[in-house]
């Protein structure tokens, strides 16, 4: 499923994928995602409900260039 999502976004011209996870950072790290500070995510992402309210501050922020 992750492969399909990455393939789709790549085909749409997306250059990087960001995510927040509270449970599986090791899974995504094995898939090439890197941990970053939440403050390093682009401002439009920081303005989403997930960043502001839905995901706890303890959630790991990760990014992968695709």
Distance separating alpha carbons of residues 29 and 13, to the nearest angstrom: 22
Cβ 35 vs Cβ 62: under 8 Å: yes
Q: What is the model's pLDDT at position 6? A: 95
pTM value is 0.89
In Å, the largest CA–CA distance within the chain is 32
Q: For the chain, give every domain's residue range.
A: 2-65
Overall fold of domain 2-65: Aminopeptidase (3.40.630)
pLDDT number for residue 2:
92
How far apart are alpha carbons 27 and 9 in whole angstroms?
19
Residue-wise pLDDT for 16-25, tens only, equals 999 999 999 9
Distance CA 31, CA 27 (A): 7
pLDDT tens digits, one per residue of 7-48: 999 999 999 999 999 999 999 999 999 999 999 999 999 999
pLDDT recorded at residue 33: 98
Angle at the Cα of 34 from the Cα atoms of 57 and 28, rounded to 5 degrees? 85
């Amino acid at each position: 499923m992750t492969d399909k999502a990455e393939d789709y976004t790549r085909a749409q011209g997306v250059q990087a994928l960001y995510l927040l996870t509270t449970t599986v950072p090791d899974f995504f790290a094995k898939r090439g995602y890197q941990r970053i500070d939440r403050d390093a995510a682009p401002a439009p992402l920081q303005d989403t409900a997930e960043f502001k309210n839905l995901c706890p501050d303890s959630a790991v922020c990760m990014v992968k260039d695709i």
